[in-house]
Amino acid sequence: MEKEVILSESEIKKQFDYMSQVKTLIGTGKKVYIRTFGCQQNEADSEKLLGMAETMGYTPTDKSGQADLILVNTCAVREHAELKALSISGEYKHCKADNPQLIIGICGCMVSQEHRVKDIKNRYPYVDFLLGTTLIHRFPEILFKTLTEKKRNFWVSPETSVIAENLPVSRVPGAVEAWVSVMYGCNNFCTYCIVPYVRGRERSRNPEDVIKEVDSLIKNGVKSITLLGQNVNSYKPLSKPGYGFPELLEDLCKLDGECVIGFMTSHPKDATAELVEVIAKHPPATGKVGISRRFHLPLQSGSDRILKAMNRHYTLEKYMSLVENIKRRIPGVSLTTDIIVGFPTETEEEFRQTLDAVRRVRYDNIYSFIYSKRKGTAAAAMEGQIDERVKGERLRRLIDLQSEISKENNVRLENLTVRGLIEGVSKTSPEKMTARTADGKLIHFTGNPEDAGKCGLFLIEKAESHELFGSLVKTEDI
Ligand code: 5AD
Ligand code: SF4
């Protein structure tokens, strides 16, 4: 198996050299537009791409028509996301007609698949470069080559298992939330999933690098940090044998300042009792670094036969005993999950087992997906693919059940006072503000935008399935 490599300082320096060369080449006033699809890992990658682009002299714009550099950061987890990214990329053709100097690059998981690369090479001649997820640290180099050699470049091999530290990251100034990757890639090969093929093998950052980054975010006023990895429970830095994710959480909780540390995603087969104990020991509290009470634990299916066919390595009962332990040890925990409906050969009875599991756990929220056939995965070749209509109908039933449960869970908070971190102005209704509880629930309230970043006590007046409405009783100045 390939060994992970922490990129040498000289490799990183090479990329910084490319950044200054591009900066000289493009002059001033150039703009970059980035469109991101998919998961938080992709959002975090986009922050890196943008950070490098800014160092090269580009200013971000939210109007693709004004850009001199357009980046599309794609997702490949489901077909729908791929088709959307392709159709959006198609629209940028017109921007190139208006501005022939425009450079269009496609990055992310979609372009680490051979058939998509071929497709884009042949059918999207106005796309100037493709850059796979495991190579994003070489973005300055591919951009420089594209600008100077006037030819298209396709760097897409998912094989390299490198970790690049100390690249610039563009984070929204003054934001109270941030993402920090702790590991990359996945070794699990769940049979439906494309991720191990497009993001390469698991590799973990050194704890010192993660701790340094988290520390500096906290010092800069960030109050909520989500640690990211395809399976954070298999965090295993080469530099420190025996050190795992629970140890990392423990060390982060020793930092000074006030912050809630969350994480995603956790594979149930690797979520240990030790992990649960560390979380139990460090609740979020005023003036401290603590661990979020939101626990995302993907179930995928409630049927043991389907779990086996998915290569998940746990049974429903094993999952349930983990859930019981989490609920017992972490009072007030908010459980969320991912579920796939319509995996090949799933019967009505097996789907009902999933509904029963959802009733047993009583999640606060579930992310439910219709199974999507991914070329090259084991499940794509399985017989017994389920009819689209049946899949759609199962999804509907699952969503309806969960809406009821979420609402019942939330209604219990009505007339109670809860603590939340004030995030800022609401993204959906600008006259309102939003706050988030330590277990991840969204509160809408009327308040002062200057309070963003403070913690407050909220009286919950009304609860819906996915949101709470309340009033701010008082803020806590830290
Ligand atoms: N089809 C549908 N959902 C999928 N997921 C991953 N691969 C597929 C697929 N082929 C879901 C899983 C995973 C989440 C991030 O996306 O539920 O946990
Ligand atoms: Fe995909 Fe499974 Fe890895 Fe998650 S653990 S990224 S579902 S292969």
Say if residue 10 is in the same domain as residue 149. Answer: yes
CA distance 393 to 344: 15
Output the domain CATH number for residue 269. Answer: 3.30.750.210
Q: How far is CA 98 from CA 53, 124, 391, 411, in A?
A: 22, 17, 43, 53
Least confident of 87-96, 102-111, 294-303: 87-96
- Residue range 357-385: mean pLDDT, rounded: 96
The verdict on 229 and 99 lying in the same domain is no
Q: Is the CB of 163 under 6 A from ligand 2?
A: no
- Residue of the CA atom closest to atom 2 of ligand 2: 190
Ligand 1 and 374: CB distance under 6 A? yes
Q: Are 452 and 431 in contact (CB under 8 A)?
A: no
**477 has a pLDDT exceeding 90:** no
Which residue of 194, 201, 267, 270 sits with most ligand 2 atoms within 8 Å of its CB, as the best mutation to test the pocket?
Answer: 267
Q: Which residue, judged by its Cα, is nearest atom 5 of ligand 2? A: 188
3 state SS of 458: strand
Quick check: CB of 39 below 6 Å from ligand 2? no
Q: Identify the pLDDT of residue 344.
A: 98
CB atoms within 10 A of CB 164: 19
Ligand 2 atom with least separation from CA of 194: 1
Res 4 pLDDT > 60: no
Q: How far is CA 366 from the centre of its chain?
A: 15
Is pLDDT at 240 greater than 50 in this prediction? Answer: yes
Residue range 388-413: mean pLDDT, rounded: 96
Q: What is the CATH number of the domain that holds 432?
A: 2.40.50.140
Ligand 1 contact via 18 beta carbon (within 6 Å)? no
Mean pLDDT of the chain: 93
The torsion angles phi and psi of 153, rounded to 5 degrees, stand at -125, 135
Indicate the number of domains in the chain: 4
Residue 428 in this model has a pLDDT that exceeds 60: yes
**Residue 286, pLDDT score:** 87
In terms of Cβ atoms closer than 10 Å to its own Cβ (0-12, 13-18, 19+), residue 81 is buried
Question: How many Å lie between the centroid of ligand 2 and the Cα of residue 185?
Answer: 9
pLDDT band, residue 235 (cuts 50/70/90)? very high
pLDDT at 361: 98
- For strands 442-445 and 433-437, give the pairing: antiparallel
Q: Is the dihedral of CA 22, 28, 30, 34 positive or negative?
A: positive
Atom of ligand 1 nearest to the CA of 194: 7
| DSSP per position, 212-273 | HHHHHHHHTT--EEEEE-TTGGG---TTSTT--HHHHHHHHTTSSS-EEEEEE---GGG--H
427 shares a domain with 370 = no
CATH number of the domain that 122 lies in?
3.40.50.12160
SS3 at position 379: helix
Q: What is the pLDDT of residue 2?
A: 46
In angstroms, the CA 180 to CA 196 distance is: 20
Does 230 contact ligand 2 (Cβ within 6 A)? yes
Amino acid present at 103: I
Cα–Cα distance between 243 and 328 in angstroms, integer?
26
pLDDT at 80 over 80: yes
Mutate to test the pocket of ligand 2, among 40, 230, 265, 313 (most ligand atoms within 8 A of CB): 230
469 pairs with which residues across the strands? 444, 462
Contact 78 CB / ligand 1 (< 6 Å): yes
**Whether residue 256 sits in one domain with residue 114:** no
Query: Could you tell me the pLDDT band of residue 160, with boundaries at 50, 70 and 90?
Result: low
Give the ligand whose atoms come closest to the C-alpha of residue 79: 1
Helix (H) or strand (E) holding 338: strand 334-341
- Rounded to the nearest whole angstrom, what is the distance from the C-alpha of residue 372 to the centroid of ligand 1? 8
Whether 3 shows a pLDDT value over 60: the answer reads no
Same-domain status, 430 and 377: no
- Cβ-contact 261, 214 below 8 angstroms: yes
CA of 199, closest atom in ligand 2:
6
What integer pLDDT is reported at residue 6 of this predicted model?
A: 72
Q: Is the Cβ atom of 372 under 6 angstroms away from ligand 1?
A: yes
**Are 261 and 179 a contacting pair, CB within 8 Å?**
no
User: Same domain, yes or no, for 298 and 275?
Assistant: no
Reported residue count of the chain is: 478
Cβ of 156 below 6 Å from ligand 1: no
Domain encompassing residue 430: 417-476
**Whole-structure pTM value:** 0.91
| Spatial CA neighbour of 367 closest among 73, 113, 78, 112 | 78
Do 282 and 307 fall into the same domain? no
Same domain, 242 and 346: no
The pLDDT assigned to 429 comes to: 84
- Contacts of residue 94, defined as CB under 8 A and 6 or more positions apart, other chains included, come to none
CA of 135 to the centre of ligand 1 (A): 23
Average pLDDT over residues 133-157: 93
d(CA 414, CA 458): 11
Atom from ligand 2 closest to the CA of residue 267: 5
Q: 155 pLDDT exceeds 60?
A: yes
Domain ends where: 289, 317, 335? 289
User: What is the 3-state composition of the chain as percent helix, strand, coil, each rounded to the nearest 5?
Assistant: 40, 20, 35
More confident call, 316 vs 439: 316
pLDDT at residue 161 in the model: 72
Q: For residue 297, give the CATH number of its domain.
A: 3.30.750.200
| 339-370 confidence digits (pLDDT tens) | 999 999 999 999 999 999 999 999 999 999 99
Q: Which of 281, 217, 214, 182 is nearest to 453 (CA)?
A: 217
Summarize the confidence of residues 154-181 as an average pLDDT. Answer: 85
**Residue 167 phi, psi (nearest 5):** -85, 155
**Residues 388, 443 within the same domain:** no
Residues 223, 153 within the same domain: no
| pLDDT for 16 beyond 50 | yes
Rounded mean pLDDT of 421-450?
Answer: 90
**Cα(464) to centroid of ligand 1, in Å?**
26
Q: Which residue, 250, 269, 289, sits at the end of a domain?
A: 289
Residue 459 has pLDDT above 70, yes or no: yes
Residue range 409-431: average pLDDT? Answer: 90
**Does the beta carbon of 189 sit less than 6 angstroms from any atom of ligand 2?**
yes
pLDDT at residue number 1: 43
Whole-number Å distance, alpha carbon 70 to ligand 1 midpoint, is 28
Domain edge (last residue) among 411, 428, 453: 411
383 and 406, same domain (yes or no): yes
- Angle of helix 139-149 relative to helix 40-55, nearest 10 degrees, comes to 50
Task: Tell whether ligand 1 has an atom less than 6 A from the beta carbon of residue 368.
Answer: no
Cα separation, 475 vs 478, in Å, equals: 9
Same domain, 259 and 298: no
Measure 341 CA to ligand 1 centroid, in angstroms: 10
CA–CA separation, 68 vs 409, rounded Å? 48
Whether 112 has a pLDDT exceeding 50, the answer reads yes
Written as one letter, the residue type at 28 is T
* CA 89 – CA 104 distance, rounded (Å): 9
C-alpha–C-alpha distance, residues 198 and 230, integer Å: 12
